[in-house]
């Protein structure tokens, strides 16, 4: 895999050239006090620190809730809530830091959104664990897959219209809702989600709310996409079909649903956390490919995506009546997807940094860059 990414450039010279002219167009902006942040700290380093904290605190919570059925410790919910708060705060100030240090670049936008796509997976799973949604496994799948789909759809709309637009209830509001769930659990205990009113369990309420707001958000996105793109004849920024991007995220989520439904060992029901992380990271990769396609004004299509080998192995194992336990395949698949996503992301970052003469985690000296 390392040789594959080392010897096969992901971006063509024409894509890198178009990347030079990319500008981040956004209709909303954070205004956060950042005076205490040293000028020598790179914006991408701020984002990465926040993501690491977010992932670690989420993994701690998942450790105590491996099937999302176990009551989570109050301190773990509190820690996870603070971890998300730290990520949200650092994610908000990285752009401000880039402006302060005059280091705004397409690399920063890609890195920021790439970290957001990873965070979306872990936040959605952590929120499922805190309310023990594993008692209703397909509700857990719906919530987590919906989060990845909506994040992808936001960038699908950007790929079509050329502008990132935020709704009234978007990523920030979603993160704040999850933090509220974490802090409620920390204060009142996980048993609060066992309460039922008119026959409806409290643990269903966050999912119902997320599903309702998600549908509203998607209808807004779909409306913007249906208006046509900024390209020729209403096409995308790359001059391609405005519908085609849905194929990629659809392939990921439908393959996940297929593996879960036709598993002979019920691997999803028995290992929901590992399962959703695996397919969530697959969704992260296709989302990052879409972001790169938008920024470089190019097609997203790539028939040689290594991550799709995982569902193909599950399919072949079932059809050929192989004796490989699906639990082993699930664990190996998660490792493979994680490594593949890491090498893909690293290769993209290195190619862009080399082209633009940037350092990913260090402030670049402008005078040296121009030499």
Q: Rounded to an integer, what distance in angstroms lies between the CA atom of residue 278 and that of residue 206?
A: 23
pLDDT band at 53 (very low <50, low <70, confident <90, very high): very high
Q: Rounded to an integer, what distance in angstroms lies between the CA atom of residue 127 and that of residue 359?
A: 35
DSSP H helices in the chain: 2-7, 13-20, 43-64, 74-100, 106-130, 137-161, 171-188, 205-226, 246-261, 267-270, 272-295, 309-319, 326-356, 366-369
Q: Please check the confidence at residue 7 and state whether its pLDDT lies above 60.
A: no
Q: Please check the confidence at residue 368 and state whether its pLDDT lies above 70.
A: no
What is each CA distance from 342 to 96, 115, 231, 278, in whole angstroms?
A: 26, 12, 32, 13
Pick from 134, 132, 143, 130: which is nearest to 76 by CA?
Answer: 130
Q: pTM to 2 decimals?
A: 0.88
User: How many other β-carbons are positioned within 10 Å of the β-carbon of residue 368?
Assistant: 8
Q: Please check the confidence at residue 8 and state whether its pLDDT lies above 70.
A: no
Give the 3-state DSSP-derived string for 235-251, with helices as H, strands as E and coil as C.
Answer: CCCCCCCCCCCHHHHHH
**Each residue's pLDDT tens digit, 297-354:** 888 866 678 889 999 999 998 888 767 899 999 999 999 999 999 999 999 888 888 8
Catalytic residue among 22, 113, 135, 155: 113
Structural contact between residues 163 and 27, judged by C-beta atoms closer than 8 angstroms: yes
pLDDT band at 370 (very low <50, low <70, confident <90, very high): very low
pLDDT band at 29 (very low <50, low <70, confident <90, very high): very low
Helix (H, G, I), strand (E, B) or coil at 28: coil
Helix (H, G, I), strand (E, B) or coil at 201: strand
Question: What mean pLDDT is predicted for residues 65-94?
Answer: 92
Tokens of 249: 């995220």
Can you give the pLDDT at residue 81?
95
What is each CA distance from 370 to 18, 246, 356, 365, in whole angstroms?
A: 19, 40, 10, 9
Annotated catalytic residue 113: yes
Helix (H, G, I), strand (E, B) or coil at 163: coil
CATH numbers and ranges of domains, the chain: 1-356 (1.20.120.1760)
Q: Please check the confidence at residue 63 and state whether its pLDDT lies above 90.
A: yes
Structural contact between residues 300 and 277, judged by C-beta atoms closer than 8 angstroms: no
Helix (H, G, I), strand (E, B) or coil at 196: strand
Structural contact between residues 182 and 176, judged by C-beta atoms closer than 8 angstroms: no
Q: Which long-range contacts (CB under 8 A, 24 or more apart) does 27-30 make?
A: 27/163, 27/164, 27/165, 27/166, 28/166, 29/95, 30/92, 30/93, 30/95, 30/96
Pick from 288, 290, 174, 167: which is nearest to 224 by CA?
Answer: 167
Residue 252, burial from CB neighbour count under 10 angstroms (0-12, 13-18, 19+):
buried
Can you give the pLDDT at residue 121?
96
């Amino acid at each position: 895999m390392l040789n594959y990414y080392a010897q096969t450039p992901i971006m063509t010279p024409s894509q890198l050239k178009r990347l030079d002219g990319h500008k981040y167009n956004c209709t909303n902006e954070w205004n956060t006090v950042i005076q205490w942040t040293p000028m020598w700290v790179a914006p991408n380093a701020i984002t990465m620190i926040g993501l690491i904290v977010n992932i670690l605190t989420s993994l701690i919570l998942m450790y105590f809730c491996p099937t999302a059925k176990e009551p989570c410790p109050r301190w773990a919910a509190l820690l996870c809530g603070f971890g998300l708060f730290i990520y949200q705060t650092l994610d908000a100030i990285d752009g401000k830091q880039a402006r302060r240090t005059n280091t705004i670049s397409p690399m920063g936008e890609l890195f920021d959104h790439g970290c957001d796509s990873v965070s979306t997976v872990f936040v959605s799973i952590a929120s499922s664990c805190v309310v023990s949604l594993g008692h209703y496994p397909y509700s857990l799948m719906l919530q987590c897959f919906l989060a990845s789909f909506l994040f992808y759809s936001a960038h699908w709309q950007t790929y079509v219209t050329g502008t990132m637009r935020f709704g009234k209830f978007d990523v920030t509001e979603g993160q704040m809702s999850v933090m509220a769930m974490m802090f409620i659990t920390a204060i009142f205990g996980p048993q609060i989600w066992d309460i039922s009113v008119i026959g409806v369990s409290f643990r269903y309420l966050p999912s119902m709310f997320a599903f309702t707001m998600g549908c509203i958000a998607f209808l807004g996105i779909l409306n913007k996409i249906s208006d046509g793109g900024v390209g020729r004849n209403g096409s995308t920024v790359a001059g391609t079909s405005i519908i085609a991007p849905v194929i990629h995220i659809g392939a990921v989520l439908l393959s996940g649903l297929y593996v879960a439904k036709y598993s002979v060992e019920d691997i999803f029901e028995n290992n929901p956390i590992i399962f959703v992380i695996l397919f969530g990271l697959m969704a992260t990769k296709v989302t990052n490919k879409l972001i790169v396609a938008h920024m470089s004004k190019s097609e997203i299509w790539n028939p040689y995506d290594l991550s799709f080998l995982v569902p193909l192995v599950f399919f072949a194992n079932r059809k050929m009546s192989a004796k490989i336990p699906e639990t082993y395949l699930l664990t190996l698949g998660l490792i493979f997807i994680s490594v593949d996503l890491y090498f893909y992301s690293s290769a993209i970052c290195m190619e862009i940094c080399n082209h633009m003469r940037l350092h990913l985690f260090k402030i670049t000296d402008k005078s040296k860059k121009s030499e």
